[in-house]
Amino acid sequence: MAGLNRSLALGATVLALALAPLSAKAEERGVLKAGSLNKNLVVDIHSGKIETSGDASAVSELILNRNVPITYEYISILMRTPNAFGEGGAGCVVCHNSNDPAESYRGLDLTSCKGILKGSTEEPVRPIVVPGAANKSLIRRMLRNNRMPLGISFVSPTHTPAIEAVKDWINAGAKDDKAFKKVLESFAKAGAYGTEQACVDCHMSNEEPPSFHELDLTSYKGVMLGADSILNAKTGKPPTKIVVPGKAEESALYQRLVENRMPPGIDPSIDRDTPATRILLRWIDQGAKCQ
């Protein structure tokens, strides 16, 4: 915790120095020329190119937008710090501290860079980091995605008849058949997936509002279209598919029903892109280097 506080204090000091007013003579002489990170930041702030508003903004402007190299040393601190990825969460290494499944959940060791890169060793063996590709890394999904329905208990069973029906339907090819009709009926049934809320209470059309992530679970067409179709279209991207026919384990629809967000104990309303999460993902994008 002390290491994390020192890092945050250092960031605050840099920001304070960057925000210090420039003297008129310094501006006239062009003292602050592009070059160092601090000089570039000062120039951008005084020219009005950026604005800062709170810690999250500071992380973006001081670190992410300037591609500051993230060291494993800092990632090691995050893995050991309570609440780093959300208020109420224990340090990651409390539960994931060795490759022995008898002592560490999923045989996942987050106490070392080697352990992080190795991933979980208990079947099914899975890497959690793809160096250079945070968006393809399992750890990103586990830190950001809430289990559905929202608010469901962390210990709620993941092999209920309704969930197994979704899994079997996808693995069988995700066709518009009798099996899907039963799945569709379950989406509209309160209590089918562990809470009083039905899936279609929040996901009922391809527009947001009123449907979260523009996801429509009221029809086969809507389910297969996926999420954020309108939002993604604005940047020339296709909808985010939630079903991969024949592959339930790779389908977001199934994943969201069985995977608990990490770390356990955090409120599902906590921002999924916390400063710590964004810094961790940037480390991965930079190659997940151990040195």
pLDDT at residue 20 is higher than 50:
no
User: What is the C-alpha to C-alpha distance for residues 154 and 89, in angstroms, rounded to an integer?
Assistant: 13
The SS3 call for residue 204 is strand
Q: Tell me phi and psi for residue 271, to 5 degrees.
A: -50, 130
Would you state the pLDDT for residue 64?
Answer: 93
Would you state the pLDDT for residue 14?
Answer: 41
Question: What is the arithmetic mean of pLDDT over 134-163?
Answer: 97
Above pLDDT 90, what percent of the chain?
77
DSSP letter for each residue of 85-147: TSTTPPPGGGT-BSS-TTTSGGG-B-SSHHHHHH-B-SSSPB-S--TT-GGG-HHHHHHHPPP
The SS3 call for residue 227 is strand
pLDDT at residue 33 is higher than 70:
no
Above pLDDT 70, what percent of the chain?
86
| pLDDT per residue as tens digits for the range 160-181 | 999 999 999 999 999 999 999 9
| pLDDT per residue as tens digits for the range 62-113 | 899 999 999 999 999 999 999 999 998 899 999 999 999 999 999 999 999 9
CA torsion 20-24-25-30 (nearest 10°) is 70
Q: Which of 145, 139, 146, 142 is nearest to 281 (CA)?
A: 139
| pLDDT per residue as tens digits for the range 214-250 | 999 999 999 999 999 999 999 999 999 999 999 999 9
Are residues 154 and 96 in contact, defined by beta-carbon separation less than 8 angstroms? no
Would you state the pLDDT for residue 46?
Answer: 74
pLDDT at residue 13 is higher than 90:
no
| pLDDT per residue as tens digits for the range 175-212 | 999 999 999 999 999 999 999 999 999 999 999 999 99
| Chain mean pLDDT for the chain | 89
DSSP 209: T
Amino acid at 238: P
pLDDT at residue 17 is higher than 60:
no
Are residues 287 and 116 in contact, defined by beta-carbon separation less than 8 angstroms? no
pTM: 0.82
